[in-house]
């Protein structure tokens, strides 16, 4: 059995949101402890992960150091965080497997994902990233061609494109590593946003890709049996935050699409997970589970989480 596990932000940062290197290492140790159980149970595991807080930190460095070293573009931030988080996750996984007297080779792959250069996000960016700054601090960046939005009391925030992921360009490499027995960490942050020009040349672009939608695409590209979206809640919930809140257990993809259409899932958080789950199930007929890290082994056995299936 082959499982793709998409790790959310809580797998890589402290519960209070702090992202010092030691926070990220401890969070990865907790996450990889759960993943090691999955590996030991005989499942072929592929991992992907978010990178929002890490890219946010790189952007602050870009801003503060712009007069001294050249700022790096967003696709480079994506590549850097894939490599760094891959390194942290591999160390944590090796240690967790060693505690179980097991060894399994792992590999972290810098992974590009194709997007359309004509995606509407490039002319009308909608995805807020990085920290809030004052109007005075936003102006020089706007002068450099960046798009910033006045978000009222909190200050100004940068908007970038969040294009639809079309193809995991490096999926063949992921597949080769899986087939060679590696636990593969790939497509972090949804993949490095990349466009292909008319001559077929690939080039990174200033954009971010939704991690959950990137995970669904990777899951489809490397033929996984189950996609597990691991976050900080054990279920997707109907009426979230209301007195009628009810966790969703087993559900069909058609029912889940209905719930989404009724606005049960917030657009910046649970919404993309539900969309990713539905896309994967609709495209493959296989199952997707949305749950928390502590439940992933049970989720793979069909005993925990929000289990979205074809029927």
Catalytic residues: 9-10, 127, 211, 273
Per CB under 6 A, 4 contacts ligand ADP: no
The distance of closest approach from Cβ of residue 105 to ligand ADP in the complex, given in angstroms and rounded to an integer, is 27
Which span (23-31, 133-141, 179-187, 226-234) binds ligand ADP, by CB under 6 A?
Answer: 226-234
Q: Quickly tell me which residue has 């699409």 as its tokens.
A: 257
Q: Quickly tell me which residue has 């976050």 as its tokens.
A: 231
Helix extents (H) in 132-223: 135-143, 171-179, 211-221
Residue selected from 215, 236, 253, 307 as contacting ligand ADP according to rule CB under 6 A:
236
Contact flags string 33-72 toward ligand ADP, x per CB under 6 A: -----------------x----------------------
Tell me whether strands 112-114 and 167-168 are parallel, antiparallel or unpaired. antiparallel
Which span (22-30, 188-196, 202-210, 231-239) binds ligand ADP, by CB under 6 A?
Answer: 231-239
125 vs 146: CA distance, rounded Å: 10
For the chain, give the longest Cα–Cα distance.
57
Helix (H) or strand (E) holding 204: strand 202-204
Per CB under 6 A, 190 contacts ligand ADP: no
Per CB under 6 A, 233 contacts ligand ADP: yes
310: its two tokens = 């074809």
The distance of closest approach from Cβ of residue 182 to ligand ADP in the complex, given in angstroms and rounded to an integer, is 24
Report the residue number, 182 or 265, with the smaller CB distance to ligand ADP: 265
Burial of 51 (0-12, 13-18, 19+ CB in 10 A): buried
220 vs 284: CA distance, rounded Å: 7
In the complex, residue closest to ligand ADP by CB: 8
The distance of closest approach from Cβ of residue 269 to ligand ADP in the complex, given in angstroms and rounded to an integer, is 3
CA distances from 58 to 73, 200, 250 (A): 10, 30, 39
Per CB under 6 A, 305 contacts ligand ADP: no
Residue selected from 4, 5, 8, 130 as contacting ligand ADP according to rule CB under 6 A:
8
Which span (8-16, 78-86, 113-121, 183-191) binds ligand ADP, by CB under 6 A?
Answer: 8-16
127 vs 42: CA distance, rounded Å: 39
The distance of closest approach from Cβ of residue 11 to ligand ADP in the complex, given in angstroms and rounded to an integer, is 8
33: its two tokens = 């402890």
Q: Give the number of residues in contact with ligand ADP, rule: CB under 6 A.
A: 15
Residue selected from 150, 223, 232, 303 as contacting ligand ADP according to rule CB under 6 A:
232
Per CB under 6 A, 215 contacts ligand ADP: no
Sequence-separated (6 or more) residues with CB below 8 Å from residue 24: 12, 13, 54, 85, 88
Per CB under 6 A, 9 contacts ligand ADP: yes
220: its two tokens = 């489809």
Q: Are 192 and 220 in contact (CB under 8 A)?
A: no
Residue selected from 80, 269, 284, 309 as contacting ligand ADP according to rule CB under 6 A:
269
Residues that bind ligand ADP (CB under 6 A): 8-10, 50, 231-233, 236-237, 240, 264-266, 269-270
């Amino acid at each position: 059995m082959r499982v793709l596990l998409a790790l959310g932000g809580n797998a890589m940062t402290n519960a209070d949101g702090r992202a010092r290197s030691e926070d990220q290492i401890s969070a990865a140790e907790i996450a990889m402890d759960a993943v090691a159980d999955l590996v030991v149970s005989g499942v072929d595991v592929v991992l992907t992960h978010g990178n929002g807080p890490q890219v946010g930190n790189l952007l602050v460095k870009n801003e503060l150091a712009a007069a001294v070293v050249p700022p790096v573009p967003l696709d480079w931030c994506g590549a850097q965080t894939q490599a760094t988080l891959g390194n942290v996750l591999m160390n944590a996984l090796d240690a967790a497997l060693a505690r179980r007297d097991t060894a399994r080779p792992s590999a972290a792959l810098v992974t590009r994902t194709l997007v359309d250069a004509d995606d509407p996000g490039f002319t009308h960016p909608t995805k807020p990233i990085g920290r809030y700054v004052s109007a005075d601090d936003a102006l020089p960046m706007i002068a450099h061609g960046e798009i910033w939005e006045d978000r009222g009391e909190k200050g100004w925030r940068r908007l970038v494109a969040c294009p639809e992921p079309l193809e995991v360009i490096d999926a063949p490499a992921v597949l080769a590593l899986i087939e060679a027995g590696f636990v593969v960490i790939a497509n972090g942050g949804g993949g490095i946003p990349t466009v292909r020009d008319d001559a077929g040349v690939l080039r990174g672009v200033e954009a971010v890709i939704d991690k959950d939608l990137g995970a669904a695409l990777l899951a489809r590209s490397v033929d996984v049996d189950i996609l597990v979206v691991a976050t900080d809640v054990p279920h997707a919930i109907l009426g979230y935050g209301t007195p009628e809140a009810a966790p969703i257990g087993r559900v069909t993809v058609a029912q889940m699409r209905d719930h989404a259409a009724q606005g049960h899932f917030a657009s910046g958080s649970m919404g993309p997970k539900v969309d990713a789950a539905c896309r994967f199930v609709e495209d493959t007929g296989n199952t997707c589970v949305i749950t928390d890290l502590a439940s992933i082994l049970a989720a793979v056995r069909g005993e925990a989480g929000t289990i979205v299936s074809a029927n």
